[in-house]
Amino acid sequence: MTTTRNRQILLIEKPTDKLAASHFRLSEGQMPAPKDGEVLTRTKLVSLDAANRAWMQGATYRTAVNAGTVMAGVSVAEVVESKAAGFKAGDLVFGDTGWQDYAALPAKELIKLPDVKPMTHLLSVYGIAGLTAYFGFLNVGRPKAGETVVVSAAAGSVGSIVGQIAKIKGCRVVGIAGGRQKCDWLTGELGFDAAVDYKGAALFRVLKDAVPDGIDIYFDNVGGDIFATCLAQMKLHGRIVCCGAVSQYDNAPPASGPRGVPGLIVVKRLRVEGFVVMDFFADRDKAIAELQGWVASGKLKVEEDVIDGLENTPQALVGLLAGENRGKRMVRV
Ligand SMILES: NC(=O)c1ccc[n+]([C@@H]2O[C@H](COP(=O)([O-])OP(=O)(O)OC[C@H]3O[C@@H](n4cnc5c(N)ncnc54)[C@H](OP(=O)(O)O)[C@@H]3O)[C@@H](O)[C@H]2O)c1
């Protein structure tokens, strides 16, 4: 009997500090056989997400990733064989396939995808990144035209879309990103009103110059010092959309405790609200239709950073955490 090889990237050791490619190993298993109710998938595009690193720190909105297992991760995959109603060979699906060629997954954990060209858009603007930006900014941030919006990790996959939606909604938008080149791209190509480099001069001062009257909505992708800097510059009745905390992921889990934060929230009457994109999935189709309209009309530019080869996935994640990417990073398998 012939077996089809299944290349897998294993997390062989949990990092205690910075993640390195050496925490992973390429291995080979057998192609799994789907049971009743399951679907066998062939991975096409692996999504690289800051959250991949957070899952190594412990349980989040999903269980922790442990050493000695196939690295968890979501991807766009093609159905090879189905033992579940509603799926057939050739369908495109989205799910937590892990970093491997083949996975046998319960059908109820998969989302069927439309045939969109280019397929990469299913992971960027019409995938988790675009939907996170859309629901986080519109449903949690609830912008009004004329408001001042600041977004961190602004040149990343979520941030670059948040800033553009904010412009579509008539807001004044300031991005925070690492390095002059990324900042110039945000203002020159994506239409941000200003961008500040958090790796350059003292952030508090340069941000103050960019938002002299304060911030109505801060879309927080990074947490840590940048969160604290923005918090101090919020206007009365401002909103902080807590999307993620990438500055805290690539080391030991941060100490808990908010220190001086609650006082500022009280005095400024802020609404600080976290969300997970899946909370809004019931409205997914409507959101994708609106995003498609903005892309078609040229109001929303899609930036993608596609790397080839499953074997390059570990280094691609290490690079994302170091800020190598612009827009949505993914690996074509
Ligand atoms: N709530 C949800 O449902 C949800 C869903 C998806 C993603 N997220 C969150 O969205 C955020 C963005 O994630 P992503 O996967 O889309 O990644 P991404 O924004 O495409 O890439 C991460 C970016 O973070 C920046 N960064 C890294 N370390 C940083 C630090 N110490 N301080 C400031 N910026 C830093 C880097 O850009 P620079 O060059 O600018 O440093 C890097 O390019 C993450 O916090 C993630 O957890 C949340």
String of DSSP letters for 86-102: T--TT-EEEE---SBSE
Give me ligand 1 centre to Cα 251, in Å: 15
Query: What is the number of the ligand 1 atom nearest to the C-alpha of 54?
Result: 47
Give me ligand 1 centre to Cα 306, in Å: 17
User: pLDDT tier at 254 (50, 70, 90 boundaries)?
Assistant: confident
Give me ligand 1 centre to Cα 247, in Å: 8
Strand residue runs (E) in 58-188: 69-70, 75-82, 92-95, 102-106, 111-113, 148-152, 172-177
Give me ligand 1 centre to Cα 86, in Å: 35
pLDDT higher than threshold 70 for residue 204:
yes
For the chain, what is the mean pLDDT? 96
Give me ligand 1 centre to Cα 221, in Å: 5
Helix (H, G, I), strand (E, B) or coil at 103: strand
User: pLDDT tier at 201 (50, 70, 90 boundaries)?
Assistant: confident
This model's pTM is above 0.85: yes
User: pLDDT tier at 283 (50, 70, 90 boundaries)?
Assistant: very high
Mutate-to-test residue for ligand 1 from 157, 164, 182, 221, highest number of ligand atoms within 8 A of CB = 221
Mutate-to-test residue for ligand 1 from 137, 246, 272, 276, highest number of ligand atoms within 8 A of CB = 246
Beta bridge partners of 271: 239
Q: What is the mean pLDDT of residues 122-150?
A: 98
Matching residue, tokens 């968890």: 72
Lining ligand 1 with CB less than 6 A are 49-51, 128-129, 132, 153, 155-159, 177-179, 182, 198, 221-222, 226, 243-247, 275-277, 320-321, 323, 325, 329
Query: What is the number of the ligand 1 atom nearest to the C-alpha of 275?
Result: 1
State the Cα–Cα distance between residues 113 and 134, nearest whole angstrom. 18
H or E segment and range at residue 234 = strand 234-242
Q: How far is CA 57 from CA 1, 70, 180, 196, in A?
A: 41, 16, 31, 30
Give me ligand 1 centre to Cα 82, in Å: 35
Across 26-65, b (16+ Cβ under 10 Å) vs e yields eeeeebbebeeebbbbbbbbbbbbbbbbbbbbeeeeeeeb
Query: Among positive and negative, which fits the CA dihedral 27, 29, 306, 64?
Result: negative
Give me ligand 1 centre to Cα 220, in Å: 9
Give me ligand 1 centre to Cα 242, in Å: 12
User: pLDDT tier at 253 (50, 70, 90 boundaries)?
Assistant: confident
Q: What residue's CA is closest to ligand 1, atom 47?
A: 244
Query: Residue 256: its pLDDT value, please?
Result: 77
Query: Residue 3: its pLDDT value, please?
Result: 67
Q: What residue's CA is closest to ligand 1, atom 46?
A: 244
Query: What is the number of the ligand 1 atom nearest to the C-alpha of 326?
Result: 43
Q: What is the mean pLDDT of residues 295-307?
A: 98
Summarised one tens digit per residue, pLDDT across range 76-131 is 999 999 999 999 999 999 999 999 999 999 999 999 999 899 999 999 999 999 99
Q: What residue's CA is closest to ligand 1, atom 32?
A: 247
H or E segment and range at residue 220 = strand 215-220
Give me ligand 1 centre to Cα 93, in Å: 24
